[in-house]
């Protein structure tokens, strides 16, 4: 059964939420002309944000992080966006030499060995490429919703990131039912892995399907404590480096933990 059939159910104030979302996207573009980007994870929430940007002709660039560890279905969404909406997607990848050296030192399953290794993997695959995406920008857009996890419950529609850039979370109050109602109503393309009980999709080794009754993000880094289940993209960490460390050896390895 499709995710649409399972989940699509608009909340009573869905139309008001939709109007607020569009208004916030337009405000972001107006306040930061030519300096705002949607950082899409290619998940269903971000596909809705992209759809709204295209549908309302809002001047916001689209960028994504191709970590080198994504499911093929997720990577395919880049082409789907470009062919469906006629929008160019900026693709940011990890520095190849760093990725190769990390795997050489720690193996392809290093993320399961320790939180430090998993976060190091997220660091060069996500955080450093994101820093390049945002380097010339004043603001960025996410598809975050408060309902997604306890860690995101306190987030606001407008925030500042650690570098003082404006961060807009225009879907912050949407429910899971709202998400799929909009997808159904507007025929928004989405990652087919959502139909396989993966509501939150990241890198392939760090994503699994969830069971009935499990938390929305239970399929992400499921072997770790819930409080650790963020990659760092959406948490305030003043010590996150803007650039790669000068030596790959500064990345934690199995022998140094």
Residues classed as catalytic: 231
Give phi and psi for 154, each to the nearest 5: -95, 5
* 3 state SS of 203: strand
Pairing verdict, β 36-40 and 139-141: parallel
* 3 state SS of 105: helix
Instruction: List helix spans (H) across the chain.
Output: 3-7, 14-31, 44-55, 72-85, 96-106, 115-122, 128-134, 176-186
Q: C-alpha angle with apex 38: 34 to 39, nearest 5 degrees?
A: 130
Strand order in the sheet with 158-160: 89-92, 61-65, 36-40, 139-141, 166-168, 158-160
Which residues are 63's β-sheet partners? 39, 90
Pairing verdict, β 89-92 and 139-141: unpaired
Give phi and psi for 18, each to the nearest 5: -60, -45
């Amino acid at each position: 059964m499709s995710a649409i059939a399972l989940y699509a159910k608009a909340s009573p104030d869905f139309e008001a939420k939709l109007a607020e979302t569009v208004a916030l996207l337009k405000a972001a573009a107006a306040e930061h002309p030519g300096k705002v980007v949607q950082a899409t994870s290619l998940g269903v929430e971000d596909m809705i944000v992209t759809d709204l940007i295209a549908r309302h002709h809002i001047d916001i660039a689209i960028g994504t992080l191709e970590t080198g560890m994504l499911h093929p279905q997720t990577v395919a969404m880049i082409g789907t966006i470009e062919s469906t909406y006629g929008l160019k997607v900026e693709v940011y990848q990890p520095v190849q030499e760093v990725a190769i050296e990390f795997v050489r030192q720690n193996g392809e399953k290093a993320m399961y060995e320790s939180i430090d290794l998993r976060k190091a993997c997220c660091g060069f695959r996500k955080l450093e490429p994101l820093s390049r995406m945002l380097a010339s920008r004043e603001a960025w857009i996410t598809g975050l919703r408060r309902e997604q996890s306890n860690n995101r419950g306190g987030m606001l529609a407008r925030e500042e990131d650690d570098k003082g850039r404006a961060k807009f979370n225009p879907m912050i109050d949407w429910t899971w039912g709202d998400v799929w109602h909009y997808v159904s109503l507007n025929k928004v393309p989405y990652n087919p892995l959502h139909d396989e009980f993966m509501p939150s999709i990241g890198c392939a080794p760090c994503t699994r399907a969830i069971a009935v009754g499990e938390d929305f993000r239970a399929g992400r880094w499921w072997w770790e404590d819930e409080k650790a289940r963020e990659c760092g993209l959406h948490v305030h960490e003043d010590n996150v480096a803007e650039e790669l460390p000068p030596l790959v050896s500064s990345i934690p390895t199995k022998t140094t933990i």
